[in-house]
Amino acid sequence: MDLDGRVAIVTGAARGLGQEYSLALARHGARIVAADVLACDETLSRIKAAGGSAIGVTVDVADRRNTEAMAERAVSQFGRIDILVNNAALLGRLVSFDQISEDEWDRIMAVNVKGTWNCCKAVIPIMRPQGKGKIINVSSGTIWSGTPHYLHYVTSKGAVFALTRSLARELSGTGINVNTLTPGYTMTPAALSLADRESIETLKQNILGQQIIKRSEQPGDLSGTVVFLASDASDFITGQTFNVDGGGNLH
């Protein structure tokens, strides 16, 4: 799964899963464009300390002009784009469906759904002439479990799952593969801040009770699948969904 010479854009790369994906792709030789609304200094420092190559770009994926500028910067710096990991997302709050404000609903849809679409639109015109590209859209295991009190987030991630299937067919014959990753509840700072400590601990125990592998999911548990989907090893796979959650949902 050698990615030497490839260029990968990872959105939401400042911390958590996005940082882990960036580090994993860099370890396999990819040059990284770390994109986030937050500063990616820590991610860049860790990649460069390990001998990798990376740049940071400030991007609000819900803004088309931002995502177009992101793609332009990647090409200006590295000359191409081979991989896109659509990881940027808003988690929202654990709250009853009728307590979600219209503004919160709209913002989650803008980032999680429109943001994924914007990033795909920005990179595909660059991938097409290359005759090859890998797009990895990050959905969520909540779409299989129908997690309650999280309707805005689950709905948005269901849309990412559907977008992937349709886009993969639209890109037939281009050499661009589009697949989805559905992580389980992963121990990141963002995930641990969804609710108060007691509620989070109850949630963790409930999830562990459903999993076949009896430990909490860590960011590193997902990196191997991301590298595989970014590499030539997955050239005959498109329009598919990879569920990585310790067997919590059997998909």
Radius of gyration of the chain (CA): 17
Closest Cα to residue 180, out of 76, 92, 86?
86
Whole-angstrom Cα distance, residue 110 to residue 61? 8
Whole-angstrom Cα distance, residue 134 to residue 229? 7
Active site includes 153?
yes
Q: Which residues contact 22 (CB under 8 A, 6 or more apart)?
A: 8, 10, 13, 32, 34, 43, 47, 54
**Tokens 């592998």 appear where?**
213
Identify the sign of the CA torsion 4, 74, 44, 135.
negative
Q: Which of 21, 150, 153, 185 is catalytic?
A: 153
Whole-angstrom Cα distance, residue 31 to residue 147? 36
Burial 19-37 (b: 16+ CB within 10 A, else e): bbbbbbbbebbbbbbbbbb
Ranges assigned E (strand) in 151-221: 176-183
Report the helix count and the strand count for the chain, using DSSP H and E: 10, 7
Whole-angstrom Cα distance, residue 51 to residue 230? 20
Quick one: tokens of 204? 């963790």
Give catalytic residue positions: 153
